[in-house]
A and B are shown apart, each in its own frame.
Chain A
């Protein structure tokens, strides 16, 4: 491959892409799409994912061709100037990270793409890898050239079979077209990429654990420093970047830093892809400029709440993040503003929650997740999270006391301060943020033994409402004979006898049994 050939291919395939793009725009003429700014997702659903020619027609590999004519430091300077901050969660300056790896003295260096996407409720990396895998390959190749690395690894979740398949196909095609391999574009720069599969461990998204996992070991994190930029994979300087971060780089190199830093809010350049889900009319992936308000996302793009319910909060950042109450929906979303209200941007999961969701139950859900995913290496995270879970379970089962809230806060702070890695350092966030914004819900559970959302089983009672068609289906299924009545005669549910097993609810053909 060389620049001239790239241009030929682009010339040939451009009309096809333009046609496809026009067709896509025509078919997606709704606010959900037109309100977005699609840069990272620019090729998603438009190009044939594994066709290298179609990718080239969208200026693919022109960034790399340009990079080859530049000094490594110039490339790094463009990345710095773009203001890109890592999309994997921490928001660390990508340019600075590249500089660290560049400055590290070593014959061998590695480029690693973090495609572990562990946050339950986020799926942007999956979309990019499935639909635009070459953007990641090109970006890693540019990084390889700029930082002096010869080899790259993509560490992808095994739960994404299609992404794995497309990535594999793209790597093979890139090798065939000499976009990976030895002496690329006739220079003396050589670069290769290998795909490694994760094996279902959230903590492996953490960079030091990810390195251990690529080496084939238990994915346990280790203390930093030394940072991977100094001593990473097999002890060599290693760049670790997230899929979304990488995917934007070729465009930035080719079109210049302004392409990115003209968009967004101060100190938070560019766009961010969010995974909008939960109680929302239009869910899915959205790409918007940093600094857009939550309100705009929910109403103008997401089309408001699902019918018949009222939204009370949005959970951002998954198990390491926190909730944002409806009263703060004017907040612009970026790394810094979310941090200021006790949440985090994280990888960009946004789960909308209506009034039928119990916030303590949600906190419990996330802590359960962290308990399950804690690697067990450090005590605060291994034991502390279980302690948090026990207290939350005590509250949701109706045995809570007011002193438990103090205990939750104290314990959370200890875990955050003393855990080894980012998992423990952020796992109590969902507890702390619900305690801050929804304290009255906790108190309701504790003082009134009541779960307003009707979620916590022990604190709710079952009732038969007027929808009942008197069919006796529930009577037959109740294991303790708590429901009495006959065919075509009113049914009664005895609250004393009911053991809240929930068996009757799905059986009822008209949803007449409700929890209050």
Chain B
């Protein structure tokens, strides 16, 4: 989205939407909330940047750094937790050498912190890697999927 288009979209939200709606547009357009977005929203709505930042930091949806190419979400809802989501997340942390909330150095994977119930509890536990959903998954299945992606990406490198 160009800067101009973004400013236009935020202006539309001013008339009928809200600061929150404008931030959602930014998250969607850029993949994270950058300084430009905060500044634009503050200017258009005539509020302080700290007000906008305050709204953005309140909600889990907003991130302040780009996610990895493959974002990994381990559902930590009740049903998934009871069926072993915690062990799965620890295994992924070990595999990638990062903590939940982090991103691998090559920018390939990011592991989301505390993903809330994704609404598929009857086929728990659920892990989402990029846009691929793994249902009734296990540590082994999940790690295999991650390794598969790693191999694919290695092939792609020159």
Chain A residues within 8 Å of B, Cβ to Cβ: 117-123, 126, 158-160, 196-202, 213-220, 275-279, 283-285, 315, 318, 349, 351, 353, 357, 362, 365-366, 372, 375, 501-503, 505-506
Task: Assess A279 versus B82: contact at CB under 8 Å? Given A199-B20, A218-B54.
Answer: yes
The answer to whether B65 has its CB under 8 Å from any CB of chain A is no
5 nearest interchain CB pairs?
A: A216-B18, A200-B60, A283-B122, A199-B59, A121-B78
- B105 to A: closest C-beta gap in Å: 21
Asked if A123 meets B121 with Cβ closer than 8 Å, knowing A158-B24, A278-B82, A506-B91, the reply is yes
Decide if B91 touches A199 in the complex (CB within 8 Å).
no
| CB-defined contacts of A219 to chain B, threshold 8 Å | 58-59
A122 touches B117 (CB 8 A): yes
Q: How many A-B pairs with Cβ below 8 Å?
A: 122
Q: Are the C-beta atoms of A201 and B58 separated by less than 8 Å?
A: yes
Using A199-B59, A353-B82, A506-B139 as known contacts, say yes or no to A118 and B121 having CB atoms under 8 A apart.
Answer: no
Contact B121 A277 (CB under 8 A): yes
**Distance between Cα atoms of A375 and B81 in the complex (Å):** 23
Contact with A along B133-152 (1 / 0, CB 8 A): 00000111001000000000
Of B24, B58, B61, B124, the residue contacting A218 (CB under 8 A) is B58
- With A and B bound together, what is the CA distance between A217 and B79 in angstroms? 31
B18, B87, B122, B140: the one contacting A284 at CB < 8 Å is B122
Interface string of B47-73 (1 = CB under 8 A from A): 000000011001111100000000000
Q: Which residues of A contact B9 (CB under 8 A)?
A: none
Distance, CA A285 to CA B123, complexed state (A): 12
Structural contact, A123 and B117, CB atoms closer than 8 A: yes
Is the contact region of chain A dominated by helix, strand, or loop, or is it mixed? Answer: loop
In the bound assembly, the distance between CA atoms of A118 and B17 in angstroms comes to 23
A-B contacts, 28 of them at CB < 8 A, read A120-B76, A121-B117, A122-B121, A123-B117, A196-B21, A197-B24, A198-B61, A199-B62, A200-B61, A201-B58, A202-B116, A213-B20, A216-B18, A216-B21, A217-B55, A219-B58, A275-B121, A277-B121, A277-B122, A278-B82, A283-B79, A285-B122, A362-B81, A365-B81, A502-B91, A503-B94, A506-B139, A506-B143
Residues of B within 8 A of A199 (CB): 20, 23-24, 59-62
Interface centre among A202, A362, A506 (most CB of B within 10 A): A506
Question: Could you tell me the distance between the alpha carbons of A278 and B107 in the complex, rounded to whole angstroms?
Answer: 34
Q: Which residue of B lies closest to A201 (CB)?
A: B59
Asked whether B19 is an interface residue with its Cβ less than 8 Å from the other chain, the reply is yes
Which residues does chain A contribute within 8 Å of B19, judged by CB atoms? 216-217
Roughly how many angstroms separate A219 CA and B22 CA in the complex, as a whole number? 15
- From the candidates B22, B60, B82, B116, name the one contacting A351 in the complex (CB within 8 A): B82
Contacts of B79 on A, CB cut-off 8 Å?
A: 120-121, 277-278, 283, 351
B45 to chain A, nearest CB (A): 8
A122, A315, A318: which has the most chain B beta carbons within 10 Å?
A: A122
Q: A217-B19, A506-B91, A506-B140 are in contact. Are A123 and B120 (CB under 8 A)?
A: yes
Instruction: Tell me whether B118 is interfacial, beta carbon within 8 Å.
Output: yes
Give the CA-CA distance A220 to B117 in the complex, in Å.
21
Known: A121-B117, A215-B18, A277-B124. A201 touches B60 (CB 8 A): yes
Judge whether B116 and A216 touch: CB under 8 Å: no
| Closest beta carbon of chain B to A302's beta carbon, Å | 10
- Chain A residues lying within 8 Å of B90, measured Cβ to Cβ, are 502
Q: Whole-angstrom distance between the alpha carbons of A121 and B116 in the complex?
A: 9
Once the chains bind, are A362 and B82 in contact (CB under 8 Å)? Answer: yes
Q: How far is the CA of A279 from the CA of B136 in the complex (A)?
A: 12
* B34 in contact (CB, < 8 A): no
A223 nearest CB across to chain B (Å): 19
A366 to B143 CA separation, bound complex (whole angstroms): 27
Asked whether B119 is an interface residue with its Cβ less than 8 Å from the other chain, the reply is yes
A219 CA / B56 CA spacing, docked (Å): 11
- Look across to chain B and name the residue whose beta carbon is closest to the beta carbon of A220: B58
- Which B residues touch A275, using CB under 8 A? 121-122
5 extra interface residue pairs, beta carbon distance < 8 Å, beyond A122-B117, A275-B122, A283-B79? A120-B81, A199-B20, A199-B59, A283-B124, A351-B121
Closest-by-CB residue of A relative to B124 is: A277
Which partner residue on chain B sits nearest A213 by CB separation? Answer: B20
User: Of A160, A200, A318, which is in contact with the most chain B CB atoms at under 10 Å from its CB?
Assistant: A200
Residues on A with beta carbons closer than 8 Å to the beta carbon of B123:
283
State the CA gap A366–B123 with chains docked (Å): 21
Q: How far is the CA of A195 from the CA of B113 in the complex (A)?
A: 27
Chain B residues whose C-beta falls within 8 Å of the C-beta of A279 in the assembled complex: 82-83
Give, as a whole number of angstroms, the nearest-CB distance from B116 to chain A.
6
Min Cβ gap B25→A in Å is 11
The answer to whether B77 touches A121 (Cβ under 8 A) is yes
Q: In chain A, what residue has the closest Cβ to B115?
A: A159
In the assembled complex, the Cα of A118 lies from the Cα of B87 at a distance in Å of 23
Determine the residue in chain B with the shortest Cβ distance to A117.
B119
